[in-house]
């Protein structure tokens, strides 16, 4: 009942958000100084006035912005995101391809940062203000105030250049035809960027988890559990983890947006051809259809993360799951 | 040796280190020079106004005070010091607490399963029996604390002591929120428990019910005990009570005319010399501003902390 309501409510929200994103990015992109015709024919190539006229007519550049938006919107609704000017391929195909490499990168780092952050947070919280807590906390502070591209470069220098454990860049081995690339090779190329990426969010998760755990440890129900002679291990297992789970899950899914944002930088540093790098390319080279497509897809992606967080929250929290008397 | 108390507290003081306005550190003494004895086969009722330190006393015995609390004085169990390590091994087994409110239940755990200290058959049966006795139906086992009423939560908390076989029970206000019948049933349970040779400390505001079941009453005020006396003295009449505050409590009972006690209890933030009841006392004198000795009753049943008390 409740869960269905939440899904419904969030879907409505998502649709309105997407419309807003579409309009906003359309306005931004059409008012940018980049000449779409020039970027279509590539930089530096001379075009005669007639040719220019023809192309502009063909793309509908003389229509009013509202008409153009209508056209674009209609096509999007039919699943046609247009053609990428850089790749000369349908935008959906380009995004699909790039997304695949990005998703490997992002999911590895999402899992690493989630698990690492949670475990460290629990350790810090349970042993609040002990030496181990201070030690881990300082590390977290240092990491969260270090730019992730710098960490990425350090990793590259140490692990790829000096030690040679990992490849220097790209998502696949160079000079191997795409049919012969195995999943483990892709994984191998994704590890270093993924670790870099997870550095941008695990310390946040750890510090948030720590705050939640210290709050739990001070609660009356933990006091009572102690008074009943439950061992520390048992208290953590029976009460602490249970109560930390809901905020942790929410945090974890909310961190998707952070990971997504961070992936743009990480992909740049490692020349990893994923969605982030493609977005940068599309922006710099005026590939308007691709840029708009990526904007839409990434909003959907981030928003889905939030929806899942909300749904899990409802499923996990008995107050929402069973309590009809709590409406909001 | 009947005369060794199960729990014996002498000159207990609890001081909290708190930070005010940034980094100014302040020590506040919430409990000072508190004395209390709980004997086998007896119920000791601890009464006193809100904020007088009753829950803190219970938490001090159980060793669950917050980290910023410093404890001085002595707490003995069966004649020897109850060290941190010792209470660690004893709590939940020989010494049990029934805490004050629903917030002591894990909000995300079904009440039935958290009342059970271990997940096995005998704990389950003990839980079910206790629930039955306190009119909690089988369905109530499967509910979460937020689905409980205050009274139900209290009954579930009371049920927790039946999981083990303690020799001391400390109950922090077990009866408010319960209807008369249920309150009596609960007190009867404690009475039976005491009659089996165990010790019970009941913290309560309900002097009326308490004196019907308890053997002794200990009167708390501003973080210390002003008097410990036989419960029957509360029934016999005012002149059997010694401390002016105890008398005032007696006169505030409905059947004795509901006379309110004037004034306020001093806050632990005020530093005090001499009698803590000085401001509100009708019979105070200059000597009350000095240290007030404890006067033990000749029959050993209690004491009073007042120079004009006996
Ligand atoms: N963690 C703490 N830090 C500072 N002061 C505290 C702390 N816990 C309790 N106190 C103070 O100690 C005093 C006694 O509190 P306590 O909870 O023992 O009262 P009580 O007698 O149980 O009251 P009630 O009948 O309302 O339960 C109060 O003045 C309270 O402000
Ligand atoms: S010591 Fe003095 S002030 Fe205190 S209660 Fe007794 S008579 Fe009153
Ligand atoms: Mg209390």
Percent of chain A with pLDDT over 90: 23
pLDDT for B237 equals 87
Are A116 and A26 in the same domain? no
Are A36 and A184 in the same domain? no
The residues near B270 (Cβ < 8 Å, ≥ 6 apart) are: none
Q: Please answer whether residues A139 and A226 qualify as being in contact, where contact means their C-beta atoms are separated by less than 8 angstroms.
A: no
pLDDT for B91 equals 93
Q: First and final CA of chain B: distance in angstroms? A: 29
pLDDT for A327 equals 39
Are A241 and A180 in the same domain? yes
- Given A77, A112, A127, the domain boundary residue is A77
| B289 C-alpha to ligand 2 centroid (Å) | 9
Are A269 and A298 in the same domain? yes
Q: Ligand 2: which of B288, B291, B295, B309 to mutate, most ligand atoms within 8 Å of CB?
A: B288
Q: pLDDT tens across A112-166, in order?
A: 999 999 999 999 999 998 999 999 999 999 988 888 888 888 888 888 888 878 7
User: Closest ligand 1 atom, CA of B59?
Assistant: 18
pLDDT for A161 equals 81
Q: Is residue A3 situated within a structural domain?
A: no
User: Closest ligand 2 atom, CA of B244?
Assistant: 5
Q: pLDDT tens across A252-295, in order?
A: 888 888 888 888 888 888 888 888 888 888 888 778 888 888 88
Q: Is residue A305 situated within a structural domain?
A: yes
CATH number of domain containing A259: 1.10.3720.10
pLDDT for A215 equals 94
Are A69 and A152 in the same domain? no
Query: Which tokens hold the place of A121?
Result: 């947070």
Residue B99 beta carbon below 6 angstroms from any ligand 1 atom:
no
pLDDT for B73 equals 93
Q: Is residue A84 situated within a structural domain?
A: no
Reduced 3-state DSSP string for B180-198: HHHHHHHHHHHHHHHHCCC
Query: Which tokens hold the place of A74?
Result: 């209609």
List the 139-158 stretch of B: residues with Cβ below 8 A of A.
Answer: 144, 146-147
Are A123 and A206 in the same domain? yes
Range(s) of the domain holding residue A31: 16-77
User: Closest ligand 2 atom, CA of B281?
Assistant: 8
Average pLDDT, chain A: 84
Are A264 and A166 in the same domain? yes
Are A257 and A304 in the same domain? yes
Tens place of pLDDT for every residue, chain B, 310 residues?
457 899 999 999 999 998 877 788 888 889 998 999 999 999 999 998 888 999 999 999 999 999 899 999 999 999 899 998 999 999 999 999 999 999 999 999 999 999 999 889 999 999 999 999 898 988 999 999 999 988 899 999 999 999 998 999 999 999 888 888 889 988 998 999 999 999 999 999 888 889 999 999 999 999 999 999 999 999 998 889 999 999 999 988 888 877 777 778 888 777 777 898 888 888 888 888 888 888 999 888 899 999 887 6
pLDDT at A324 over 60: no
How many domains does chain A divide into?
Answer: 2
Q: For residue A326, what pLDDT band results from cuts at 50, 70 and 90?
A: very low
- Given A47, A77, A107, the domain boundary residue is A77
pLDDT for B147 equals 92
pLDDT for B305 equals 93
List the 59-118 stretch of B: residues with Cβ below 8 A of A.
Answer: 59, 62-64, 66, 89-93, 96-97, 99, 101, 103-109, 114, 117
- A224 vs B: CB within 8 A: yes
Are A20 and A127 in the same domain? no
Mean of pLDDT values over A64-91: 82
Distance CA B17, CA B27 (A): 5
Tokens 């937020």 sit on residue: B146
Q: Ligand 1: which of B15, B25, B30 to mutate, most ligand atoms within 8 Å of CB?
A: B30
Are A270 and A124 in the same domain? yes
- Given A28, A53, A77, the domain boundary residue is A77
pLDDT for A323 equals 63
Percent of chain A with pLDDT over 70: 90
pLDDT for A47 equals 72
Tokens 């990168």 sit on residue: A105
Are A183 and A231 in the same domain? yes
Verify whether the Cβ–Cβ distance A225 to B108 is below 8 Å: no
Residue B268 beta carbon below 6 angstroms from any ligand 1 atom:
yes
Looking at domain B7-304, its CATH superfamily turns out to be P-loop containing nucleotide triphosphate hydrolases (3.40.50.300)
pLDDT for A170 equals 66
Q: For residue A57, what pLDDT band results from cuts at 50, 70 and 90?
A: confident
Q: Pairing between strand B168-172 and B199-203?
A: parallel
Are A110 and A205 in the same domain? yes
Verify whether the Cβ–Cβ distance B64 to A227 is below 8 Å: yes
């Amino acid at each position: 009942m409740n869960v269905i309501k939440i899904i419904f409510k969030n879907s409505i929200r998502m649709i309105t958000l997407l419309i807003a994103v579409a309009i906003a990015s359309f306005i931004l992109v059409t008012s940018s100084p980049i000449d779409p015709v020039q970027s279509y024919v590539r930089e530096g190539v001379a075009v005669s006035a007639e040719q220019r006229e023809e192309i502009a007519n063909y793309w509908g550049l003389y229509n009013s912005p509202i008409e153009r938006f209508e056209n674009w919107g209609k096509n999007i609704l039919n699943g046609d995101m247009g053609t990428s000017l850089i790749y000369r391929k349908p935008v959906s195909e380009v995004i699909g391809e790039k997304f695949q490499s990005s998703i490997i990168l992002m999911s590895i780092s999402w899992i690493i940062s989630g698990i690492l952050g949670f475990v460290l947070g629990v350790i810090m919280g349970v042993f609040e203000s002990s030496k181990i807590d201070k030690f881990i906390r300082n590390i977290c502070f240092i990491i969260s105030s270090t730019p992730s591209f710098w960490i990425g470069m350090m990793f590259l220098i140490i692990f790829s250049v000096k030690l040679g454990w990992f490849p220097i860049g790209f998502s696949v081995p160079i000079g191997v035809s795409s049919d012969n690339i195995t999943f483990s090779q892709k994984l191998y190329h994704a590890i270093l960027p993924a670790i870099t990426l997870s550095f941008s969010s695990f310390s946040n998760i750890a510090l948030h988890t720590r705050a939640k755990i210290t709050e739990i440890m001070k609660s009356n129900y933990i006091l009572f559990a102690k008074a009943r002679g439950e061992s520390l291990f048992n208290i953590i297992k029976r009460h602490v983890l249970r109560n930390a789970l809901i905020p942790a899950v929410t945090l974890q899914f909310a961190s998707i947006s952070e990971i997504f944002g961070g992936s743009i930088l990480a992909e740049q540093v490692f020349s990893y051809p994923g969605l982030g790098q493609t977005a940068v390319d599309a922006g710099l080279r005026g590939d308007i259809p691709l840029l708009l497509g990526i904007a839409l897809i990434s909003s959907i992606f981030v928003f889905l993360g939030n929806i899942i967080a909300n749904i899990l929250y409802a499923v996990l929290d008995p107050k929402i799951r069973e309590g009809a008397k709590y409406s909001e | 040796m009947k005369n060794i108390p199960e729990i014996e507290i002498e000159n207990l003081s609890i001081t909290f280190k708190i930070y005010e306005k940034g980094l100014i550190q302040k020590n506040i003494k919430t409990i000072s020079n508190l004395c209390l004895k709980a004997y086998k086969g007896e119920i000791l009722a601890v009464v006193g106004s809100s904020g007088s330190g009753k829950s803190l006393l219970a938490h001090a015995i159980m060793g669950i005070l917050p980290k910023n609390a410093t404890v001085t004085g002595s707490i003995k169990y069966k004649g020897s010091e109850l060290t941190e390590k010792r209470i660690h091994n004893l709590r939940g087994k020989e010494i049990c607490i029934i805490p004050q409110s629903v917030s002591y239940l894990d909000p995300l755990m079904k009440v039935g399963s958290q009342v059970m200290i271990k997940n096995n058959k005998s704990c389950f049966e003990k839980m079910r029996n206790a629930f039955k006795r306190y009119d909690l139906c089988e369905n109530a086992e499967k509910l979460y604390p937020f689905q409980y009423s205050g009274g139900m939560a209290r009954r579930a908390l009371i049920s927790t002591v039946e999981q083990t076989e303690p020799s001391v029970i400390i109950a922090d206000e077990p009866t408010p929120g319960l209807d008369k019948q249920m309150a009596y049933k609960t007190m009867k349970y404690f009475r039976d428990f005491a009659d089996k040779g165990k010790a019970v400390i009941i913290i309560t505001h309900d002097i009326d019910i308490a004196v019907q079941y308890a053997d002794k009453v200990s009167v708390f005020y501003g973080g210390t005990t002003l008097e410990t006396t036989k419960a029957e003295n509360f029934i016999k009449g005012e002149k059997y009570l010694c401390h002016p505050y105890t008398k005032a409590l007696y006169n505030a009972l409905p059947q004795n005319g509901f006379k309110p006690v004037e004034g306020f209890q001093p806050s632990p933030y005020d530093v005090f010399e001499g009698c803590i009841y000085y401001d509100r006392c009708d019979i105070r004198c200059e000597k009350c501003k000095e240290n007030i000795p404890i006067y033990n009753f000749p029959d050993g049943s209690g004491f009073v902390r007042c120079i004009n008390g006996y």
